[in-house]
Structure 1
Amino acid sequence: MNKRSGLSFSHIGIFVTDIQRMADFYVDVLDFTITDRGTLQGPEGPIELVFTSRDPDVHHQIVLVSGRPERIDFNVVNQISMTADSIETLQAFHRRLQRADVSEISPVTHGNALSVYFRDPEGNRIELYVDTSWYVSQPARIVMPIELPADELLAWAERHARTLPGFRLRSEWRADMARRMQS
């Protein structure tokens, strides 16, 4: 079965305080490329935009927009999530993050994914993750030993996931979701 037609997620834009610092972070730490940048007139004056992408077919995946106040009481963006192509990639980014200007680095498993959470320089929470081939009921969040070799980490995660409620193969969960989304 195919994904739902009509809409698909494209990109996100976030307000930032120090646009150059944030652009440098997304380029240097997360390997985004600046695809465009410029200024538009906004209701309160000029705003600067930096468009970034990791995909040559997509002009922008994250847009950085100037104008975020220095102090805000609450950030309404819970997280920005990106899929890694392998456990090894996830582990390499974890090592890179430990040397970068980030805080709250937290490697966890959700049962159905292996994730590394952290905060960018302005406090936005980011998740890098790899899906697993199984599903467990959500929410689930368990600290994981990301330093294990990739095959051992995956085996550890599956052993743990099998103890959680709702464990089943991802293919079974997907078939159920496809049926539910068709109705």
Structure 2
Amino acid sequence: MRHPDVLAPQLRFSHIGFFVRNIDQQAVFYKEVLGFTETDRGTLPTPSGEARLVFLSRDPDEHHQIVLVSGRPSEQHFNVINQISLKAASLEGLQALHRELQRRKVGELIAVTHGNAVSVYFRDPEGNRIELYVDTPWYVSQPCRVEVPIDLPADELFAWIEAHARGLEGFRPRAQWRAEMAARMGLTP
């Protein structure tokens, strides 16, 4: 399906907002563990009462990339957020973040490859799943999720991931996959 030409070049993902139970605890976690800066904080009247908001960003060009909003019901048993994904700058940086998360004893910490990315998953204090990841230069058919030996030296880990990816269905250079997707999206001349 082609996207309308008027929308395709004009939309890009900007930020996410989600409800939390303990806004102060969540704000501390995102600031101290993930390095976000609090850009604003305040209250807003809503139909169900006053909501507290905390705005967080890691980019000075974005007022907020995450907004935490009070009001998540404590009796809620199902979280509609599957994951919040943040891109790391490098494989070495991802490994350093993994070591820090281990040190902080975050919940459900696991490192995996998807073939097209290397990811570290864990939970924030309210159980929201966080993904930190770096892309690989390959594409493989999805879904794909295999644990990786994240503590290997970065060059050995990269070689391990590439050897694994080469044996998976759909393996090809990311640039080739990207060109295919651009054509499917109607973004090529």
2:166 counterpart residue number: 162
Cα offsets for 1:62-87 (capped at 9, x unmatched): 00000011131210110000000000
Task: Judge conservation of contact 1:108–1:116 (CA < 8 Å) in 2.
Answer: yes
1:117 counterpart residue number: 121
Identity between Structure 1 and Structure 2 (%): 66
> Aligned in 2, Cα 1:21/1:101: closer, same or farther, shift over 3 Å?
farther
Note the 1:6-25 alignment, pairs <5 A: 6-25=10-29
1:52 counterpart residue number: 56
- 75, 78, 81: which one aligns with 2:82: 78
1:151 counterpart residue number: 155
SS at match of 2:156: helix
Note the 1:24-39 alignment, pairs <5 A: 24-39=28-43
Q: Could you tell me which amino acid in structure 1 is paired with residue 80 of structure 2?
A: V
2:4 counterpart residue number: none
Q: Could you tell me which amino acid in structure 2 is paired with residue 6 of structure 1?
A: Q
- 58, 64, 67: which one aligns with 2:68: 64
SS at match of 2:144: coil
- 105, 112, 120: which one aligns with 1:108: 112
For normalisation by structure 2, the TM-score amounts to: 0.93
1:5 aligns with 2:31: no
- Number of paired residues? 181
Give 1:6 deviation, angstroms.
2.4
Give 1:99 deviation, angstroms.
2.2
- 134, 140, 153: which one aligns with 2:138: 134
Cα offsets for 1:103-123 (capped at 9, x unmatched): 110100000000000000000
| Whole-angstrom CA distance in 2 between matches of 1:95 and 1:62 | 24
Cα offsets for 1:21-40 (capped at 9, x unmatched): 00000000000000000001
Q: Unaligned regions of 5+ residues in structure 2, if any? A: 1-6
Task: Judge conservation of contact 1:101–1:120 (CA < 8 Å) in 2.
Answer: no
| Whole-angstrom CA distance in 2 between matches of 1:85 and 1:51 | 22
Task: Name segments (4+ residues, structure 1) moved above 6 Å.
Answer: none
For normalisation by structure 1, the TM-score amounts to: 0.96
